[in-house]
Structure 1
Amino acid sequence: MSIEYKKDIIYEHLKREILEQQLPPGSRLPKEKELAKALGVGQITLRSALARLETEKLVERFPGKGTFVTDELKRQTVLVVLPDGAENLETPSRYVAAGIDEAAKNMGVTLERCPAGLLNSFDANECQNMVRQHRITGILLETGHSKINENLVTKLKQLNLPVVIPHGLPTDAENTGFCVLRTDERAAWGDGLRYLAKAGHRVIASLFLELPSEQLTTFRGFTRQELREFYHYNGLVWDESLLQMISLQTEIVTATVRQWMLGPLPPTAIMCHSDRLAMRVYQVLKELRINIPQQVSIMGYSNYPGGQLLLPPLTTVDVKFAECGRMALEHLLRAEEWYNPTVLPREIITPYIIIERDSVAKLTKS
């Protein structure tokens, strides 16, 4: 067994005993030599595990006195600011929050949740009192992948606490000065198109959702010209009609898909701005009696719940909402490594993967 693996095992073992209060808050751990012997490891391995627990504020080490389980009142308390409507199944906030909740449970972090609208109604004194009374040590600002209210940004800055946005926009870091985790949408959308191209598709329609102009002025990171160049570079057929930006209204989705499929240049694949838009496209194709993927392939983006239940299950770009939440909390807990209001904000690119299901057919390349 490797030393690193042993360190992880001891760390997880002690952490579990602390979180389950087998080692109660405020209790003193046995001396290092005794504890290492009881756990069957060397003192160096034990010290590594204790250092990680100390970073997470689960233990405190006092020279000459020993190592103590942190008192509950000293544990990290994080304020999670949620956008109004965060419970909506179609918004990313619900799934980002699930990742935050799970990570907080594993790390022994207390979460205090507050709707953005309510927080925005507080005056400066009320905000400061809230922070003091609940011992807030940092803030996670979940935005629903939308533009952030400027008044809210101002209020959060006045608290002089580290703020992390778990799933932000490309403009959020510059506009807010907060640390931002975000998907490289251009790379993710481009990889989705390349996936379809690799499967032999050349006539690919890109279907985007209309969003407020201040929120999204490009097509998943591309300008129209850049998307045209991307199509040409990757050997795809470019036609202006194959790029559409529409609302989610059923009649508009229906009209757009009908025009494509019954027109002079029917696509062999449609890449959708989101899984929820892809679900609407499924409905239209069913009404038109066009089979997926035999007659047209469909690819989603985001990996919302339900895509795996479609017939056929939806192939999609998974931007890992829950992982964004987990990463954001972990980064916030390490704020002493990066937080400085006087320097440029950090921007962290989060991972994504393509989930292959059954909605994309492989064509013979011509």
Structure 2
Amino acid sequence: MTVSRAEDAAMRRALALALNGPRGVNPQVGAVLLSPDGAIVAEGWHRGAGTAHAEVDALSKLPRGDARGLTAVVTLEPCNHRGRTGPCSEALLAAGVARVVYALDDPTPAAGGGAERLAAAGVAVEGGVRADEAEALLHSWTTVVRLGRPHVTVKWAQSLDGRAAAAADGTSKWITGPAARADVHRRRAQADAIVAGIGTVLADDPALTARREDGTLFDAQPLPVVLGARAVPDDALVRAHPRGLLQRDGQNLPELMDELRAQGVQSVFVEGGPTIASAFLRAGLVDEVLAYIAPTLIGSGADGADRPALRGLGVDTITDQHRLDLVSAERLGEDLLVVARSAAPAEAGSARPQASASPSPAREGAAS
């Protein structure tokens, strides 16, 4: 790989520009145009689906769009297909760029191939510049492309003996401490959507917001999604959520994931309690598990009822167990957070079983 110091600096700038664009259906991309002596002559970034791509945005700032002899530095391989906008590879060729430097290959089958198209037309092309940084920036989006759906994290809190955060009388707040709860809210703020069951909403009246330790809201808030057929009360706290409210019956989780993906959701945080969590696991839709374990014992209720952190997963024999890869184990105050990921994540286009997450009338587990 051979890039100049000016091109490397321009890539850093392009990565910063990309963050100006929204997370959504399309990737966040930044672009910088350099003169032959390495000076920045124009910049651009993608402002969302249906708007000019970063390269075209930068070109629009040049007199008559004339880029003859210039180098285009862009965080993602220029696209090579026509959607709501034309191919960036063709736009760069028409403008007369002499060289293109990009960070990350476009993983989308329909859009990839721009670098090859440019090189075939005689443009000098260099890829892989600061690719790790670009991958970190676009990780959620590339995961959506790879899986064909949003990335799903399932979280639950449990006692040391594997019981959900509910005692025999139905009380559930709180078995984990402040440090664990703060960690949950921080992770909520990093997600695009948060999923809970109607049982949780009716029992606990959660706000489903991401809050700082002082109670104020994080700037980024996940879209609240409530699963279940029963109505959300008019005075429920979740109805005051700054992102509004999406309610579905939960009968078909793959269809729900398709709907959320179409809305630009890249990451989903599931806090719906044992029934909801188990439904996502049975459907093969879970990429990451967060288990917050409190050093306490609950056992079964006085009525003999068991209250496990998960319900039936379709494991009839030990060979059917859901194997996970352990990522980390971290102490949070008096509690332990175990993070694990699916050992064999599904790929886009693979068969997906229909799964229902319709909660039973029983309590689904605490959320706030």
- Please report the TM-score for the alignment, with normalisation by the length of structure 1: 0.32
Q: Which has the higher helix share?
A: 1
